[in-house]
């Protein structure tokens, strides 16, 4: 099993070797992983502790001076808690920077609902000019981060501690969706990020097309348009993907499985597998639910 935080550390270290404007700001997470970075670049490493709002404000200040900050901590605290700082300090001022989270959705299920976040992708998508990425594997992160980190935009990278290990080939690029299955079926399944680990095997024997996204903003309009005349089933572990797809073309016939109209806190504890099962997002449940998704939505 791959570990995206380790890959993130490797990518940023490589970038820092060639770009003296790269600076890492940690919120008391992944500190051990970045110990060699700290030794190599002591003036460009700062563990600021549990003060997420200040992390964003400091990153904005650094960006205003031409640096490329990487802010890294747990997803609910750097997005839900610090949304205003992201909106005003970074995006409103048109400062480029990289917000790199871990533990989104229910990756940290054992810590309970306080450590869940289902809103980060949707909230940050709404900010003008921001970019939103949900890579599901190390390979996707390696394709996305080096190309976007210094482009002058606020870019959100939502890492998962539970990535998929599916090989999507070498043709990975920011803003480009991946058509994994096109059998001319009347139904198309669309998903993003680590959920592919459940969705791909669930769809293997079903008469459906399958599209995968690692970039939610800008969403790749081409595959949505390509399958716009089919029934679209979106499988998601957070808000954001379904809204992005719906915005491509009005009137899409779309059903959502997973996180959609949640009006409760998911208060059960356990593993991320337990949470997927509770939300009927495991492979077996999806295999049964996808063919009847529109009956359930009716």
| CATH number (domain holding residue 29) | 3.40.50.970
Residue 73: count of CB within 10 angstroms of its CB: 28
- End-of-domain residue from the set 158, 189, 214: 158
Q: Which runs of E-coded beta strand occur in 4-43?
A: 22-26
17-58 confidence digits (pLDDT tens): 999 999 999 999 899 999 999 999 999 999 999 999 999 999
Specify whether 95 is located in the same domain as 183. no
Residue 227 confidence (pLDDT): 99
Cβ atoms of 85 and 61 within 8 Å: the answer is no
Mean pLDDT of the chain: 93
Say how far apart CA 88 and CA 60 lie, in whole Å: 10
Q: pTM of the full predicted structure?
A: 0.94
* Residue 97 predicted with pLDDT over 50: yes
Specify whether 12 is located in the same domain as 124. yes
Q: Can you give the residue range of the structural domain that contains 276?
A: 178-291
Specify whether 119 is located in the same domain as 183. no
Is residue 204, in this structure, part of any structural domain at all? yes
Cβ atoms of 17 and 27 within 8 Å: the answer is no
For residues 199-221, average pLDDT: 98
* Residue 298 predicted with pLDDT over 70: no
Specify whether 80 is located in the same domain as 108. yes
Is residue 57, in this structure, part of any structural domain at all? yes
Residue 258 confidence (pLDDT): 87
Residue 1 confidence (pLDDT): 42
For residues 149-155, average pLDDT: 97
For residues 90-102, average pLDDT: 97
Residue 268 confidence (pLDDT): 75
Specify whether 183 is located in the same domain as 83. no
Say how far apart CA 117 and CA 106 lie, in whole Å: 7
Q: Structurally, how many domains does the chain consist of?
A: 2
Specify whether 42 is located in the same domain as 73. yes
């Amino acid at each position: 099993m791959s570990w995206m935080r380790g890959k993130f550390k490797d990518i940023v270290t490589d970038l820092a070797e060639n770009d003296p404007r790269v600076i890492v700001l940690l919120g008391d997470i992944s500190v051990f992983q970045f110990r060699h970075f700290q030794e190599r670049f002591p003036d460009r490493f700062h563990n600021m502790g549990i003060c997420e709002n200040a992390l964003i404000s400091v990153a904005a200040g650094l960006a205003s001076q031409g640096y490329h900050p990487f802010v890294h901590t747990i997803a609910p605290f750097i997005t839900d808690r610090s949304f205003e700082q992201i909106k005003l300090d970074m995006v409103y001022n048109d400062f480029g920077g990289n917000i790199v989270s871990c533990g989104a959705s229910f990756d940290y299920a054992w810590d309970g609902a306080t450590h869940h976040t289902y809103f980060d992708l949707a909230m940050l998508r709404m900010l003008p000019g921001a970019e939103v990425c949900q890579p599901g594997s190390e390979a996707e992160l390696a394709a996305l981060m080096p190309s976007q980190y210094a482009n002058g935009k606020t870019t959100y990278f939502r890492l998962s501690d539970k990535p998929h290990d599916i090989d999507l080939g070498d043709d990975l690029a920011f803003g480009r969706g991946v058509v994994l299955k096109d059998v001319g079926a009347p139904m198309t399944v669309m998903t993003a990020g680590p959920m592919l680990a459940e969705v791909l095997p669930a769809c293997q024997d079903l008469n459906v097309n399958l599209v995968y996204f690692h970039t939610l903003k800008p969403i790749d309009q081409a595959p949505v348009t390509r399958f716009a005349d089919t029934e679209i089933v979106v499988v998601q572990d957070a808000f954001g993907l379904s809204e992005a797809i719906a915005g491509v073309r009005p009137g899409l016939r779309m059903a959502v499985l997973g996180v959609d109209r949640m009006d409760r806190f998911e208060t059960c504890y356990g593993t991320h597998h337990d949470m997927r099962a509770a939300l009927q997002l495991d492979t077996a449940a999806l295999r049964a639910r996808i063919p009847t998704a529109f009956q359930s939505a009716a």
